[in-house]
Amino acid sequence: MMMNMIIFLLMFMIGNLIFVSKHKHLLVVLLSLEFIVLSIYFFMLLMISFYSFNFYMLMLFLVFSVCEGALGLSILVSMIRTHSNDYFQSFSLL
């Protein structure tokens, strides 16, 4: 159990490190967010199986994470169609 918690914390910290570091592309940021969601899913799976609860909440979390991924990809496609790339520096938020 302790080894699984170390793996979860390592995954979560690596995902946060990639998310916080300055990247030029939106796709790298979206992939790091999905990696963070994957590590949280792993943690919830460990905790739910440890306490032998129902896996309904885990399925609900998967539904929301898939919706978040689809929304991120739609924003990426919209940005590529309007600005012809996914650089953060090529568009203004104003």
Q: Please report the domains of the chain, with CATH numbers, ordered by start residue.
A: 2-90 (1.10.287.3510)
Q: What is the pTM of this model?
A: 0.85
pLDDT of residue 93: 60
Mean pLDDT by groups of 10 residues along the chain of 94 residues? 88 93 87 94 90 88 94 90 80 60
Three-class SS state of 24: coil
pLDDT of amino acid 71: 95
Confidence at residue 91, expressed as pLDDT on a 0 to 100 scale: 66
Report the distance separating Cα 19 and Cα 11, nearest Å: 12
Give one word for 25, left, alpha or beta, with left for phi > 0 and alpha for psi -120 to 50.
Answer: beta
- Tell me how far apart the alpha carbons of residues 35 and 50 are, in angstroms, rounded to a whole number: 22
| Structure tokens, 22 | 């300055």
- Please state the φ and ψ torsions of residue 25, each to the nearest 5 degrees: -105, 145
Q: What is the pLDDT of residue 4?
A: 86
Q: Quote the radius of gyration of the chain (alpha carbons, Å).
A: 16
Contact 86, 27 (CB under 8 A): yes
Q: What is the pLDDT of residue 92?
A: 65
